[in-house]
Amino acid sequence: MEQAVQDPSQNQSAAGGARITRQLAFKLLRILFGIIWLLNTWFQANSAYINHLFLKSFNAGIHGQPGWLAHYVMRVKDVILVLGPSRVAIATVVIDALLALSLLSGLWLRFFAWVGIIYNLFMWSTVGGLGGPYTQGATDPGTAIVYALAFFFVFLSVSNGEGDGGLSSRLSEVGRVLFGLLWAFNASWKWHPYFLRHAVDYLVQSQAGQPAWIVAYIQFFVNIIHAVGPLAFGIFAATIETLIALSLLFKKGLRFMLPIGAAFCFGLWTTGEGWGGPYGPGFTGNKGDILGTAIIYCVIFLYLMVLYPPSWIKKS
């Protein structure tokens, strides 16, 4: 029987189509992250933030922190007082705006991805207080560290799909492991007896100051948790986060766990983080005037779904 000879051009066309699919996925994720970052910039470009809340936000990095960290934040605050708090606040808004512009337009992504990493690590170490204080009730390492990791994945996307260069897969593995370590840290706090006994309290607290429809939305889940049992819910949340961390760290079951992680984070953002609110002039419900932590976890999970694609996104 005569065997059909496959046209090489068809293989090239199929490979090109896969590359376009991956490139488009990275582009859409970059724009999504850019919209989130633009909203953050909009909240900061407010007189209340520039004239008052920016300097006040550094107090969050001082209270209850170890002496060495409080000393570091105080020294940074002293420098800001010398330079002028309003001037520095305006500079942060300008940086935020440039980062948003780069994310939305795709211009100078490699450079601004690193600016975003360094800038967010600085904010994490000062306003964010390295995620602390790590006392009873702590659940995660803070917000800005997650944004820094998201900018790292933006850099990876430039080299793996959006840009003209080919980055070694080792950096993708580094990103996956770093994200896995972050989740392992999160999961370790979820097994703390305080969280297991008071998991529903985080949802109740997120209702404060929210519009009526968000209060009702969160209360719907609070009622379900009370029906199931708060302890059972706490164990469920801790187990899910542990499985996600193990999957990321050991690269097992990623095609199954990454969509679960994205859905879990979106659910957490809309309940435990109250959609990032409450919102007001120059502030949101999160440290550093940022729209929330879990929504950025969700974005990173989507990036990983493209780097370690399910069946509907082919590798290039």
User: Can you tell me the mean pLDDT for 107-132?
Assistant: 93
The pLDDT, as a whole number, for residue 160 is 61
Residue 60: which pLDDT band, with cuts at 50, 70 and 90? confident
* Domain assignment of residue 258, yes or no: yes
Decide: 296 and 64 in contact? Cβ < 8 Å.
no
129-174 confidence digits (pLDDT tens): 888 888 877 778 888 999 999 999 999 888 665 444 444 577 889 9
Q: Considering only residues 309 and 214, tell me which one the structure prediction assigns the higher pLDDT.
A: 214
Tokens of 86: 């309003």
Whether 5 is in a domain gets the answer no
Across the range 108-115, mean pLDDT stands at 94
On whether the CB atoms of residues 299 and 12 are closer than 8 A, the answer is no
CA dist 218 to 17, 204, 228, 297, Å?
42, 8, 16, 20
Residue 79: CB partners within 8 Å, gap ≥ 6? none
What is the model's pLDDT at position 258? 95
Question: Is 66 a member of any domain?
Answer: yes
The 10s digit of each residue's pLDDT in 244-283 is 999 999 999 998 999 999 999 999 999 999 998 888 887 7
Residue 242 lies in a domain: yes
How many independent structural domains does the chain possess? 1
Residue range 92-113: mean pLDDT, rounded = 95
Distance separating alpha carbons of residues 176 and 157, to the nearest angstrom: 13
Query: Which residues are within 8 A (CB) of 181 and not within 5 positions of it... i.e. 6 or more apart?
Result: 249
**Closest by Cα among 152, 158, 147 to 176:** 152
Distance from C-alpha of 174 to C-alpha of 255, rounded to nearest angstrom: 18
Q: Are 211 and 231 in contact (CB under 8 A)?
A: no
Residue 109 counted as domain residue? yes
Has residue 194 been placed in a domain?
yes
Stretch 83-93: mean pLDDT, rounded? 95
Q: H helices of the chain, where?
A: 8-44, 47-48, 54-56, 67-83, 85-105, 109-125, 144-157, 169-190, 193-205, 212-228, 230-250, 254-270, 294-307
Q: Is residue 9 a part of any domain in this protein?
A: no
Task: Report whether 128 contacts 145 (CB < 8 A).
Answer: yes
Residue-range definition of the domain harbouring residue 251: 14-307
Distance of CA 207 to the CA centre of its chain: 21
Length of the chain, please?
A: 316
- Return the closest-CA partner of residue 292 out of 88, 60, 101, 43: 43
Specify if 2 maps to a domain: no
